[in-house]
Amino acid sequence: MILYLAYLSLLAALLSAGVSLLTDRREYLSCGIKRLRARTAGWLPLSGKTVAWLDRCLEPDFYALLLRHLPFVLLGISGVAAVLVGAVELSGDFSASATLPLGLPWLHWHVRIDALSGFFFCVLGLPLVAVSLFGPGYVREFEDSKAHALAILGFFTGLFVAGMEMVLLADDAFFFMIAWEWMSVASYFLVAYHHEQSASRRASFLYLLMAEIGALCIILGFGVLVAFSGGFTFDALREVQLTPLWASAAFVLALLGFGMKAGLVPIHAWLPEAHPAAPSHISALMSGVMLKIAVYGFLRFIWDLLPEMFWEWGVLVLVTGASSAILGILYALQQQNLKRLLAYSSVENIGIIFTSLGLAIIFFSTGYPQFGALGLLAGLLHCFNHALFKTLLFLGAGCVLHQTHEINLEKMGGLIHRMPKLAALFLVGTLSISALPPLNGFVSEWLTLQAALQATHLESGVLRSLIPTAAAVLALTGALGVACFVKVYGVAFLGLPRSLHIAHAHEVNDMGMLAGPALLALCCVLFGVFPTPLIDGIRGVIEKLTGAVLPNVTALGWLWVTPVDAKMASYSPILVLISLLVAGALCYYLLHRGNYFKPRRAEPWDCGFGGLNARMQYTSGAFSMPVRRIFNPVYKISETLDAQTEDPEHWRVTALKYQFQVEDKSWYALYQPTGQAVTHLARRLGRIQTGSIRTYLGYSFVTLIFLLWVIS
């Protein structure tokens, strides 16, 4: 039954892609229906109402409306089916497998649903349902665009979703790589959708290049396992016996391949380029879901296929994750483009997830499976939470872009008065991603820190000092994350508008564009206040995957979360929520109803300048300037200050113009030298291209003689 639900989800995504191709084929469809009606008139008579309904469907306005909504309806069905797959799998052991008559004659596709893939179906399903509600209103502006065909957008969106679902279904290395490449190539066309912009073309090329390099690493990692097992199915790979050297080689290849798709530092450069280039609902799926598919692949490879783990692997994952977390949020703080900021924030959150996984590997490999299970719980829970609030934030950014055609924070301001409903939903997302209680982001980050605190049980002094250092970096990351999203919300939604587009903005007219973010905001609140049912479901995933038994996280009842021991640490989100509500009600009473504190309303002091205006409020760059000064060695900063004067002596300054640009140092440390080396090598090799056929025949003859010598 559960496998049929998964098939339904996949089929709905593929149908969404197919239906999208009909967007600009109304004439052909109309002609086909008329011919079919004429040929079947004798044996299949249609009533007058049916004929009228068919004619109505083919009218231009109704046809455009139908074809704009139908692909997203099918995506919604796919999302609902995916959520049902995850819910059924998390509620019990309903694993199922099958072999499909596809692929090569001697190598059919093997599919399987188990606890791990079921959980990630749930991670995929909820954001997909929200996108299906948001999408019809957002893509309306592309209906009459010749440069942006709506059929292409819908077609590759359906293929992209289907590719992610096939990755979760794959039960052999061959099918897994086909699904992985399907997902990558489909998302490449979505990143390149605004192809008339040079930035989009550059971002899509970089994304495809790094995706293929990552795929090559994954293929080589599977190749190590296949070479020692003799089969491609995951069941055969699970029986493989590897030496520590070959196991470490497979692990490093998997970390590079899946880490490149997930956006780990320093192989993250594609992510802040590709996510802002894609349409907003695609950016939401890429950041909220696709990055978690990469985490799924890493978990499947390391915990399910490799025969054993070593603590050195955990150290590598821990250091990489902590570095990604701190560098991701530091670069996010300096961004002016809202979508680019959210993309760098995804690097930070992926770093938090891999920090948890690094802790889990260390504890499992050193003989502490309970603490390892706690780290794995924190990582899986943060995957789910990040999928919710990051999709919410990208959809919110899409609403702002749709209404104002502006994505630069320096030109925003005052949106809370013009788009109050969106402002409320976006606030939930910013509070969640800032890991503030009682919302869902706090629970998973708190569990990560609780897992790190168990380092005192380890015997190695190196590990006992390294893990608290990583935990301190994670705590600093959390503080900087709060500062980052205080900046985002304060600059974009509070204060006065900084441009005419923002000043004339208004709430979105399409209710679906608010319904999608509202669904995710509700989930952020529900899973933050009631995390224990989800934790119990993830506990079953961990037990089936590793055999380890989690500590009783509900030892004090369902109101409390106790990760290790009730005497050491506990957290009650419901009590925190009640305390906040009581404190808020008390403050409201004292300020507005009581006689103790009567607020005096007056115009704010303008320092004698004659009225406040938008230029007197904090800009995005000014807000993040202290962090930029403190962490200056992390950035590559270009600053210019132009002073305009009136007098010949240049003493009286009438205007100042300050500009700065923050660039990612990894470009200059890793990517630029590599690109220059490849270009230099290509030019050197180009010298052999003489244009003479006799020279080329000589090359062929020498190569043939060499191969004959090698073979003989």
Mean local confidence (pLDDT), 298-315: 92
| pLDDT tier at 596, thresholds 50, 70, 90 | low
Per the model's pLDDT, the better-predicted residue between 650 and 630 turns out to be 630
Q: Mean pLDDT: which of 37-51, 225-239, 241-255 is highest?
A: 241-255
| pLDDT tier at 42, thresholds 50, 70, 90 | low
pLDDT at 40: 57
The tokens describing 318, both together, are 């821990």
Mean local confidence (pLDDT), 376-394: 94
Mean pLDDT score of the chain: 86
pLDDT at 702: 86
| Model confidence pLDDT, tens digit, residues 509-534 | 888 899 999 999 999 999 999 998 88
Mean local confidence (pLDDT), 473-483: 93
pLDDT at 593: 67
Query: Is there a cis peptide before residue 438, judged by omega within 30 degrees of 0?
Result: yes
170-184, 219-233, 386-400, 651-665, range with the lowest pLDDT = 651-665
pTM for this entry: 0.90
Helices and strands in the chain, H and E counts: 29, 4
The widest CA-to-CA distance across the chain, in whole angstroms, is 102
The tokens describing 15, both together, are 């149908």
Which residue is it, tokens 């999408």?
A: 135
pLDDT at 209: 87
Mean local confidence (pLDDT), 243-252: 93
pLDDT at 320: 94
Does position 252 have pLDDT exceeding 60, yes or no? yes
pLDDT at 43: 56
Does position 27 have pLDDT exceeding 70, yes or no? no
16, 88, 389, 397, 490 from 426: Cα distances, Å: 29, 31, 9, 9, 12
Percent of the chain surpassing pLDDT 90:
40
Does position 37 have pLDDT exceeding 90, yes or no? no
pLDDT at 322: 94
Mean local confidence (pLDDT), 609-620: 77
Does position 149 have pLDDT exceeding 90, yes or no? no
pLDDT at 588: 78
Does position 690 have pLDDT exceeding 90, yes or no? no
Does position 123 have pLDDT exceeding 90, yes or no? yes
pLDDT at 32: 59
Helix, strand and coil in the chain, % to nearest 5? 70, 5, 25
Mean local confidence (pLDDT), 454-469: 88
| Model confidence pLDDT, tens digit, residues 66-82 | 777 888 999 999 999 99
Mean local confidence (pLDDT), 225-231: 86
Q: How many residues does the chain have?
A: 712
The answer to whether the CB of 445 falls within 8 A of the CB of 474 is: yes
Which residue is it, tokens 């608290």?
A: 468
Where would I find the H helices in 607-711? 620-623, 625-630, 665-666, 672-685, 693-711
| pLDDT tier at 25, thresholds 50, 70, 90 | low
Mean local confidence (pLDDT), 75-95: 89
pLDDT at 711: 74
| pLDDT tier at 94, thresholds 50, 70, 90 | confident
Give me the residues paired with residue 342 across strands.
none
392, 402, 420, 661 from 417: Cα distances, Å: 20, 17, 6, 30
Instruction: State the DSSP string of 38-73.
Output: HHTTTTS---HHHHHHHHHHTSHHHHHHHHHHHHHH
Q: Mean pLDDT: which of 135-149, 256-270, 604-618, 630-644 is highest?
A: 256-270
